[in-house]
Amino acid sequence: MRKLLLLIVVFTVGVSTVAVAAPSQKTSGTVYAGVTHAEGDDLYVSGDFKDKILGRGAIVYVTTVDASTEPGSFLVKARKITIYTRKGTLTGSGEAIQTYNPDGTTSVADGTFSLTKGTGAYKGHELKGKFEGPQVDGVYQFSYTGRYK
């Protein structure tokens, strides 16, 4: 009887632990990136980032550009985004609208990303959010907000 009671307690604790998911945390950061090269229809963009939770790291995007319905605007789809830190990687996808403005400036808006495949310390974690920012002298400066869990 004692063994059965112990088994029930262990099973109950184990099930309740699995059922409780880690709470998500608000985070934000900045990405500095630029186009490094093209291969076929793909543009490779890389740079570095600083995040309130993840700290500093590197980032690589594999993107394609599609025409938009608005003149001077393009839909940029990142079919693969990977961030690298000393603790591991997070990989996913995203997209945004890039606009060439009449005054000669370039801006990126309505950006979203979802990084759901983790390695190392990020295995089982995800980072999802929104971003925007200018491109100045060939360097994109994205400010983002999101949730890490």
Q: Set out the domains of the chain in order of their start, with CATH numbers.
A: 31-136 (2.40.128)
At 58, the pLDDT band (50, 70, 90 cuts) reads very high
Give the pLDDT confidence of 6-35 residue by residue, as tens digits: 434 444 444 434 445 568 999 999 999 999
Give the pLDDT confidence of 71-127 residue by residue, as tens digits: 899 999 999 999 999 999 999 999 999 999 999 999 999 999 999 999 999 999 999
Q: Other C-beta atoms within 10 Å of 80: how many?
A: 14
* Interval 120-148 mean pLDDT: 97
Q: Write down the pLDDT at residue 3.
A: 46
Q: Other C-beta atoms within 10 Å of 49: how many?
A: 20
Q: Does an H or E element contain 3, and which?
A: helix 2-19
